[in-house]
Amino acid sequence: MTGWVQVAGLGPGDDGMITQEVRDAITEATDIVGYIPYVRRIAPRDGLTLHETDNRVELDRAKHALEMASDGKRVVVVSSGDPGVFAMASALFEALEAGSPEWLDLDIRILPGITAMLAAAARLGAPLGHDFCAINLSDNLKPWDLIEKRLRLAAQAGFAMAFYNPRSKSRPHQFGRALEILREEYGSRTLISFAKDVTKPSQSLTTVPLGDALPEMADMRTVVIVGNKDTRKVGRFVYTPRSAE
């Protein structure tokens, strides 16, 4: 039996947003590897082994997947959203680069998924309708000084921005600093949206001017989207025009 590894995105939460390509891979898999809540989205069945791991062992998880594939297993590494956006695809290639040369001959595929950022934007309207960037506000894998620099430069360039991991219990004050930087560069009238539990029954959407935004409006279940100077509301929708002044 020839083994393989496929890194799959499960989308933002609603099972209806899992692509058919990902469903087919899960059906063919002998092993599922991933962070505990993502693995628990996969229904158990005969012939399938579920490997749950903690959130901060990405490289160990990727190495384990590659080892199993080299032993002939059909392995799906699951991520939320899209596996190439702050998720497991990059970790897998990092483990591949540091691992056995024989792993380079494995059948490795990345299966895209719908990101929380894009799902949130669709629920809001089209706040990412022109040039935009995505920034992970967690400083677990990069220094906070670098995050501040990227925030400021992206704002100066006029990008709309989507923020992942905006505020956690271990770093409750950093998002407040991010809001300060955005106000310094964009002013207080630029629109900012908070999409919590997007696509889930508990989904909530809130859009306010930057001047009214509070750090407590975001947590780890929230995707934050800040527009640029052209972003505006039409009825209940938020959108950024495709043309720029």
Residue % of the chain over a pLDDT of 90: 90
List the beta bridge partners of residue 30.
Answer: none
Q: Look at residue 64 in the predicted model and tell me its pLDDT.
A: 97
Q: What is the mean pLDDT of residues 93-110?
A: 95
pLDDT tens by residue, 124-174: 999 999 999 999 999 988 999 999 999 999 999 999 999 999 988 778 788
Is the pLDDT assigned to residue 1 strictly greater than 70? no
Is the pLDDT assigned to residue 69 strictly greater than 60? yes
Q: How many CA atoms lie within 13 A of 142 on its CB side?
A: 11
Structure tokens at 219: 């947590």
pLDDT tens by residue, 180-220: 999 999 999 999 999 999 999 999 999 999 999 999 999 98
Structure tokens at 24: 């087919």
Beta strand 74-79 with 125-126 is unpaired
What is the number of H-type helices and E-type strands within the chain?
A: 7, 13
Q: How many CA atoms lie within 13 A of 230 on its CB side?
A: 18
Q: Across all residues in the chain, what is the average pLDDT?
A: 94
